[in-house]
Amino acid sequence: MKITGAWLTDPATQALCAAVTAAGHRILFVGGCVRNALLGVPVSDIDLATDARPETVSDIAESAGFRVVPTGIDHGTVTVIAGGVPHEVTTFRRDVETDGRRAVIAYSTELAEDAARRDFTMNALYADAVGNVVDPLGGLPDLLARRVRFVGDAGTRIAEDYLRILRFFRFHAHFGNPDEGLDAEGLAACAAGSAGIETLSAERIGAEMKKLLAAPDPAPSVCAMAQAGILLQVLPGGDPQFLAPLVHVEAGRPPRWQRRLAVLGGDLIRLRLSKAETVTVSAIRDEIGSLRSPAALGFLHGAEVAADVLLIRAAMQLAPLPEGWPAEVDRGAAARFPLRAADLAPLAGPDLGRRLKLLEQRWLASDLRLDKAALLQSSDD
């Protein structure tokens, strides 16, 4: 079987592969670029594996005129900028020692050893410079069946890095067969090893959850996480009951992990979101139970958050979206409160602030219909 793609045949990429091969070394595409090419999914990152050591890769690439950045030199990885595109080139490796978060590695010249330390069989696929697929572990049938399965013993792979528990659910959401459940052995191993999640940083957990929730339909994976007791570890109090209805209501709209996270509820502390991300998710949650109109939501929070709130309301109430809601949201997002501080002179200080706030609330309650004259008249009431 062969893979194809403009990224594969790019002259700069081919020149890099040719330079390493001419120096007597083996170099292969690996991981996501091979997996995605076989599935017909866009390729975003180009990763290569080689039997050449990092310093050798650097010397070869620089001699060929490429810029080299030692991005992960301690782990055997250098980034070669070829044709303006980063190519991560990593030396074949085997694990010497692991503690569930990081591994002590040794370089290897054996492809089978490099493949054996990878997480899932669909990620242990390689391809040569012309696209011929190399499958040292027999993972191609799993990929073609969209079966997310751990390499070797699932419990052992998880003990090497407990983040693989979350990756298992994320990969099923993105690449798994939607008509089949998760791999039973892998799911059981994730549940058995779930205590190891406590050793992971909040940043790593948050990054994985955002990727999972951005999948076209993360509901089956998240429900499986809940049943295995894993969701409560990463999102205490989280409940997936409204996630599937939300995905249905979204009806082809671009997925937003913030919207999906908001509908799950729960405590965000284990996710270490940025301040802006936390503000967004909190705003969505706060407005789900409010009575604000689409226009008022658009004015207060912008069109994106307003749409999130309305979609979640519809999912939770099993009700249709308000008629004409996109136009109303846009009307609110483009609106400006008719009054300014000078309009309420001679009020000043705290009294002015309270009056402006009161009149803004009246304006919102009118669905943004009251004009300046009507608001000034009401300010005399």
Residue 117's nearest CA partner among 31, 47, 192 is 31
* The pLDDT value given to residue 251: 87
In this structure, whether the domain defined by 1-144 belongs to CATH 3.40.50.1980 is answered with no
* The pLDDT value given to residue 225: 98
Query: Do 121 and 127 form a contact (C-beta atoms < 8 A)?
Result: no
Which neighbouring-strand residues pair with 78? Answer: 89
Map residue 80 onto helix, strand or coil. strand
Query: Do 306 and 284 form a contact (C-beta atoms < 8 A)?
Result: no
Question: Would you give the distance in Å from CA 275 to the centre of its chain?
Answer: 18
Give the torsion through C-alpha atoms of 270, 275, 277, 281, to 10 deg: 80
For the entire predicted model, the pTM comes to 0.91
Segments of the chain scoring below 50 in pLDDT? none
Per the document, the length of the chain is 381
Query: Do 232 and 225 form a contact (C-beta atoms < 8 A)?
Result: no
Helices and strands (DSSP H and E) totals, the chain: 20, 9
**Token code pair at residue 362:** 């009246």
Q: Tell me the pairing of strands 46-50 and 85-91.
A: parallel
Residue 189's nearest CA partner among 269, 125, 120 is 120
Cis status, amide bond into 346, omega within 30 of 0: yes
Q: Tell me the pairing of strands 126-127 and 27-30.
A: antiparallel
* The pLDDT value given to residue 102: 66
State the alpha helices, DSSP H only, in 107-180. Answer: 111-116, 140-144, 154-160, 163-175
Residue 243's nearest CA partner among 262, 219, 227 is 219
State the alpha helices, DSSP H only, in 80-230. Answer: 111-116, 140-144, 154-160, 163-175, 184-192, 202-213, 219-227
Query: Do 71 and 80 form a contact (C-beta atoms < 8 A)?
Result: no
* The pLDDT value given to residue 188: 97
The angle formed by the CA atoms of residues 274, 277 and 283, to the nearest 5 degrees, is 140
Question: Would you give the distance in Å from CA 226 to the centre of its chain?
Answer: 19
Q: For the chain, which residues make up each domain, given as ranges? A: 1-144, 339-378
